[in-house]
Amino acid sequence: MKIDLGPVTRLEGHLNIKTTIEDNVIVDAKCMGEMFRGFEVFLQGRDPLDAQQITQRICGVCPYAHAIASSYAQEQAYNLTTPANGRILHNLIQGANHLYDYLLHFYQLSALDFIDVTAILQYQGNDSDLVKLRTWVKTELESKKTYPAAPFLPRLSGNYLEDTELNIGALKHYLEAMEIQKKANQASAIFGGKFPHSTSIFPGGCTQQPEVDLIASYQSLIEETRIFIQQKYIPDLLAVAQAFPEYWEVGKSKGGFLSYGLLPLGPQPDSRRLFAPGLLQEGNVSPVKFDRITEDVRYAKYSSRSGLQVRNGNLKPDPKKSEAYSWIKAPRYEGKMVEVGPAARILVEYHQGRNTQVKQLVDHFAGLAGISTDKLNSVLGRHLCRGISALVIADFLLEEADRATPGKPAIPDLAIPSEGEGFGATEASRGALLHYIRIKDKKIAKYECVVPTTWNCSPRDDRGKVGALESALIGSRVEDPKQQIEAVRIIHSFDPCLACAVH
């Protein structure tokens, strides 16, 4: 039986997944990005300083990651020396965006795969938000509409969390999480100018100075976010993990892990990072080399040459190409598929053991769940790694804000060279993000982005080998082939963003 799961909801953009099921097992899966955008084409010929502004429009969820990657690439191309404040403000802006994004993903995009929204009908209290939610769910259910109004219903049939109190608590947090996300976004906008699409991020810094009152406001918003993460997000995540332990075994991708590392601890982008970069394969971590990355297009709707290195990237759309089933390219590292994202970030760091907080948190939570760390490659593993990232980043941001020095420059002087090139690599919330810029005659001659969801949701490569999400789906069991809630839980654990993936 072949089923189109698309358009998959509770993710950004247009993703279809075609599954083939035999005897309740997914025996084949195809990830299909269903639109073309072309940022790399229309950036050509523009002023290089447009890049960190324009590439942010790739996405409304992770715009700052694009601005930061673009900034790092330009810093290398301009041979800039970044002032300490510049890097710190970049970190403050980008880190707050990660916190917002993890809460958005857990509560709004995934929790309702596990939490039973109908438990609200049992609610006896007088919290006005929950009373409103109870009335809404009751009305929708009684109306017997085929398609009740989103976001809480309709839903796939399956086993949901049974504990009424936990369900109602998580629904309350679902609503509160939106207020907290607002605070994290306000924090990043203090220095970023606005969210989404920062007006102030600039190569090597930020046009907003770190003033004493702004630093204090930033810290107070991050502290509120941190408390929510610690007291509500992490306990809810653990409650889901406790109720669905089988998901430590479900959704394992079948390749290595790639992380570029996140949040430089010194002024230059290649300074040591809070989360270390690396390629993890069979328990060994090796340094990342950008020239080992290529993008295959045999099964993507492009007629440009396949297997090109990033600096030679090319994009010729070909919507009718035979065999092709996606607008997403297939990036590969030394010809191999890798997973990127929270599990990659945490596992790559954990295996290097530099960040003791990451090590302690991984060991603590793995001990609580009774799992070995290789089980972080799973549906629950990806959720837990987001939670660990959130805890570590929130603590770091509170200290990092203290390191900003009022009255000192937050932006370098720069001159655009007539020729130059640069790579900029960071971790967006969804994983490894790489930008490449080449400048000729002071204009952009080439711009390439290799984006997290492009890795995770890639189609087959030139050798016919599947992408990370495809590999995680194949072999999984589904109780009801027409519903496939298990497949949707796997898909959501990767948090795909299709706007980014096709860029």
CA distances from 207 to 347, 413, 454 (A): 35, 12, 31
Applying CB under 6 A, among 5, 26, 62, 348 the residue interacting with ligand NFE is: 62
Nearer to ligand NFE, 82 or 454 (CB): 454
Task: Give the residue among 53, 50, 54 at the shortest CA–CA distance from 37.
Answer: 54
Nearer to ligand NFE, 11 or 215 (CB): 11
Nearer to ligand NFE, 37 or 465 (CB): 37
Structure tokens at 358: 């990451």
Q: Does residue number 331 form part of the binding site for ligand NFE (CB under 6 A)? A: no
Nearer to ligand NFE, 62 or 346 (CB): 62
Q: Cα–Cα distance between 457 and 501 in angstroms, integer?
A: 8
- Least distance in Å: CB of 429 to ligand NFE? 4
Applying CB under 6 A, which part among 49-57, 136-144, 331-339, 429-437 lies near ligand NFE?
Answer: 429-437
Applying CB under 6 A, among 428, 450, 468, 485 the residue interacting with ligand NFE is: 428
Q: Does residue number 429 form part of the binding site for ligand NFE (CB under 6 A)? A: yes
Q: What is the dihedral of CA 329, 333, 334, 337, to 10 degrees?
A: -70
Applying CB under 6 A, among 59, 137, 388, 485 the residue interacting with ligand NFE is: 59
**Please, is 372 exposed, middle or buried when counting C-beta atoms within 10 Å of its C-beta (0-12, 13-18, 19+)?**
exposed
Q: Does residue number 500 form part of the binding site for ligand NFE (CB under 6 A)? A: yes
Q: Does residue number 168 form part of the binding site for ligand NFE (CB under 6 A)? A: no
- Least distance in Å: CB of 55 to ligand NFE? 10
- Give Dmax over CA atoms of the chain in angstroms: 69
Q: Does residue number 472 form part of the binding site for ligand NFE (CB under 6 A)? A: no
Q: Does residue number 61 form part of the binding site for ligand NFE (CB under 6 A)? A: yes
Applying CB under 6 A, among 414, 433, 487, 502 the residue interacting with ligand NFE is: 433
Q: Does residue number 430 form part of the binding site for ligand NFE (CB under 6 A)? A: yes
Q: Does residue number 339 form part of the binding site for ligand NFE (CB under 6 A)? A: no
Q: What is the 3-state secondary structure (H, E, C) of 291-313?
A: HHEEEECCCECECCCCCEEHHHC
- Least distance in Å: CB of 456 to ligand NFE? 8
Are residues 210 and 88 in contact, defined by beta-carbon separation less than 8 angstroms?
Answer: yes
Structure tokens at 480: 């009801």
Structure tokens at 463: 């050798």
The phi, psi pair for 426, rounded to 5°, reads -150, 180
Nearer to ligand NFE, 252 or 435 (CB): 435
Q: How many residues bind ligand NFE (CB under 6 A)?
A: 16
Q: Any bridge partners for residue 206, and if so which? A: 201
Nearer to ligand NFE, 279 or 432 (CB): 432
Strand 273-275 to strand 25-33: parallel, antiparallel, or no bridges (unpaired)? Answer: unpaired
The phi, psi pair for 33, rounded to 5°, reads -85, 125
Number of Cβ atoms within 10 Å of the Cβ of 441: 8
Number of Cβ atoms within 10 Å of the Cβ of 60: 13
- Least distance in Å: CB of 65 to ligand NFE? 4
Applying CB under 6 A, among 240, 262, 379, 499 the residue interacting with ligand NFE is: 499
Q: Which of residues 8-47 bind ligand NFE (CB under 6 A)?
A: 12
CA 346 to chain centre: 13
Q: Which of residues 440-459 bind ligand NFE (CB under 6 A)?
A: 451-453
Residue with token string 């916190």: 99
- The count of C-alpha atoms lying within 13 angstroms of the C-alpha of 483, restricted to the half-sphere facing its C-beta, is 13
Applying CB under 6 A, which part among 117-125, 162-170, 230-238, 427-435 lies near ligand NFE?
Answer: 427-435
Site for ligand NFE, rule CB under 6 A: 12, 59, 61-62, 65, 428-430, 433, 451-453, 497, 499-501
